[in-house]
Amino acid sequence: MAVLQKEALNSYLKNPSIRYRMVLVFGPDRGLVSERASAILDGLQRLSGGNSDDPFGLTRIATEDLNSDPQRLANEAYTISLFGGARFIHAKAHGARNLQDQIAPLLKDPPQDAFIVIEAGDLKKGTAVRKLIENSNDAAAIACFADDTASLNQLISEELEAFGLSMTKDARHRLVSQLGGDRLASRREIQKLCLFAADKGTISEEDVLALSGDTSVLSADALSDAAALGQMPALMDALARMDAGSLSPAAAGPLILRNFQVLHKARIMVEQGVPAAQVVERVTPPIFFMRKGVVRKQLGMWTVARLERALALLSDAVLKSRQQQGLATAHLGDALIRIAGNARRG
């Protein structure tokens, strides 16, 4: 069984092995699926002495081709190269019908001079296609889920290094809160920001805000503030947008939890006698200047004890979101709705 995860996946992506004649790359993050499939093909071509820029060395098959001609994939795989050497096939099978019937013969009798990389959508565990790939010694399955905070930070670091830039901690927090859902879209946004601040050396939070445009950009701040203020309509709208892919719940959860931890620390200071106006200026990590008025209002609505219950709800939701990624939005949404209800009752 070849299901590549964590260290094995990272190692394979850096140095694809010719051991696997077929690789299935699948998952809900279509951008990450595409990025990984392309990286694997480039690596295999280099390893086999091919040229990744050679248009004749790579055959691309679209979903429509697979549906209209069920024999297309096998025909391409078993065709002998006119110029010798390995052949490479990139099949995009998002929504392809009867894919398992098309790959089964290739797994039973693997082509000796062809490598096949297949892109697919979100295949649930136990589906026929996944079972065929995962139970074969000549194939590998790679799942691509929405980026979490750690992977988004890694993506940001990669692009910053490529552009020779640095970024403040607050800028990174704000940028992470606006990314997720699709790897290619996230990478484009980071690159756009790097180009915007290319002459500055260090990217600030103001740069991130300036480039994000208007206030309609969905962020973790919007979710946490709506919940903390008990603004149920705004919260439901933000949750619907997150569910539609505007923001990754895996990335948003830890940032929302961080906002409530800051609010908890600030409320402790208020209950110790420090005026709320001073607290929002002194608390660490610092509160973004555009949120200071909102946080002052939140401080008047919550007590330390009630915030501790909210933190318990959020911590549990973040943990469950990591354990059950397919239900991440539901777990986070349930916690935020309950917190918003508590804010309204308070």
Q: How many CB atoms lie within 10 A of CB 256?
A: 28
Average pLDDT, the chain: 86
| Residue 52: both structure tokens together | 């990744």
User: What are 265-289's pLDDT values in tens digits?
Assistant: 999 999 999 999 999 988 877 787 7
Q: How confident is the model at residue 49 (pLDDT cuts 50, 70, 90)?
A: low
Find all residues with CB under 8 Å of 110, minimum gap 6, and list them. 21, 22, 138
pLDDT of residue 345: 84
- Angstrom distance (rounded) from CA 334 to CA 337: 5
Which has more confidence, 177 or 58?
Answer: 58
pLDDT at 177 over 80: no
- Angstrom distance (rounded) from CA 156 to CA 175: 9
pLDDT of residue 218: 53
Helix (H), strand (E) at residue 118: strand 114-120
Give the pTM: 0.61
- Angstrom distance (rounded) from CA 228 to CA 340: 6
Identity of the amino acid at 285: P
CA atoms within 13 A on the CB side of 75: 8
Cα diameter, the chain: 82
Percent of the chain with pLDDT over 90: 47
| Residue 156: both structure tokens together | 């940001």
pLDDT at 84 over 80: no
User: What are 254-267's pLDDT values in tens digits?
Assistant: 889 989 999 999 99
Average pLDDT over residues 74-103: 86
Q: How confident is the model at residue 216 (pLDDT cuts 50, 70, 90)?
A: very low
pLDDT at 109 over 50: yes
Locate all alpha helices (DSSP H) within 115-273, ordered by sequence: 128-134, 149-163, 169-177, 183-196, 205-212, 220-228, 232-241, 249-271
